[in-house]
Amino acid sequence: MPRVDELFDVQYGHSLELNRLELTAPADGIRFISRKMRDNGIAAYVRRLSDVEPNPGGQLTCALSGNGVLSTFIQEQPYYTAFHVACLTPKFDLTTAQLLYYCQCIRANRYRYSYGRQANRTLAQLELPGPTEIPRYVDCIDVERYSGADAPRTESPTPPLGVTFWQPVQLASLFDIRKGKRLTRAHMLPGAVPFIGAIDRNNGVAATVGQAALHEGNTITVNYNGSVAEAFYQPVPFGCSDDVNVLYPRFDMTPAVALFFATLIRHEKYRFNYARKWHLERMAKSTLRLPVKASGDLDLAFMENYIAMLPFSSVLEG
């Protein structure tokens, strides 16, 4: 198989320091790419420098060290980079789907590296499939499927949260809290029912199973063990492990309102750890500070409208 440097021109990035740059809004700035594992590597948007030319779009960026080593992304717009970021320019005409495939191939070599072994000297030597070895399914993928999904539902500017005027509300007064049921890997049947585990990604879906769903959709799952306080909105019926509690709303909850709640619940993470779980009884007594009307009722309209002004809210139903 060919090496990375036989498929791409490999160059070191700008090695700029973010604290020496002027931050700006995304619409007015240049992407600043760091060694992040997520967000396409984007750490911030910064003011264009008069004496430093941004790299052009169409390149791949690859983290060479740190916790996100070999995190690789397509940069479709001009960008600057932090330290220890490589910039890869393809030597062949490659589609967006093929570039995404190479991002995954490079990322699959993460196991070779650690804090003591960086990729600065060896990235170029990694072996990857050649252009003729790219699987057929890659070119069948519709990479534009989610184009425009990042648009907000409304164009109004996002208002301040004004949390000073929020009030603490007990979770048990808002939700019927139920415990999940244990299901081991050995007993999982093949199927399409989401099974929620105590993880911090993929909306909590650890597997899909053939067992009947035990919980209704339009609920919120919260980990009381594992990745404690990770909260996710579940739109369809599902099963979940006994490390997860399920919050059934006692009010008319839309997906947008559920996401508002899930975000606030995640912010309670600092209160818990491996020695102090967020078990069902403790969760029922816990409170969240929430926007409340003068009447004392939840301000559900504020929650709905706030989420509707955020990126990606256009994909929400209801």
315 pLDDT band, cuts 50/70/90, is: confident
Residue whose token pair is 């049921």:
181
Give tens-digit pLDDT for 159-173: 778 777 799 999 999
197-250 residue pLDDT tens: 999 999 999 999 999 999 999 999 999 998 999 999 999 999 999 999 999 999
* pLDDT category of residue 316 using cuts at 50, 70 and 90: confident
Question: Rounded CA gap, 83 and 18, in Å?
Answer: 10
- The pTM of this model reads 0.73
Taking domain 4-140, whether its CATH number is 3.40.190.10 is answered by no
pLDDT of 263-305, one tens digit each?
A: 999 999 999 987 889 999 999 999 999 999 888 889 999 999 9
User: Does the pLDDT at position 253 exceed 60?
Assistant: yes
- Contacts of 278 by beta carbon, 8 Å cutoff, 6+ apart: 222, 223, 224, 228, 229, 245, 268, 271, 272, 286
Locus of tokens 């036989």: 6
- In the three-class reduction of DSSP (H, G, I as helix; E, B as strand; rest coil), residue 245 is classed as strand
Strands 8-12 and 85-90: antiparallel
Give, as one character, the DSSP assignment of residue 114: B
**In 3D, which of 7, 283, 260, 302 has the Cα closest to residue 125?**
7
Share of the chain above pLDDT 90, in %: 82
Alpha helices by DSSP H, listed for the chain, are 4-7, 96-107, 171-174, 255-266, 280-285, 300-308
Nearest one of 230, 231, 289, 233 to 256, comparing CA atoms: 233
CATH number of 163-315: 3.90.220.20
Residue ranges per structural domain of the chain = 4-140, 163-315
Mean pLDDT of all residues in the chain? 93
CA 146 to chain centre: 15
Predicted local confidence at residue 151, as pLDDT: 86
H helices of 40-178, where?
96-107, 171-174
From 45-49, 66-70, 152-156, the region with the lowest mean pLDDT: 152-156
Closest CA to 216 of 186, 258, 187: 258
Task: Read off the pLDDT band of 252 (50, 70, 90).
Answer: very high
Task: Tell me what percent of the residues of the chain surpass a pLDDT of 70.
Answer: 99
Kindly indicate the confidence band of residue 318, based on its pLDDT and cuts at 50, 70 and 90.
Answer: low
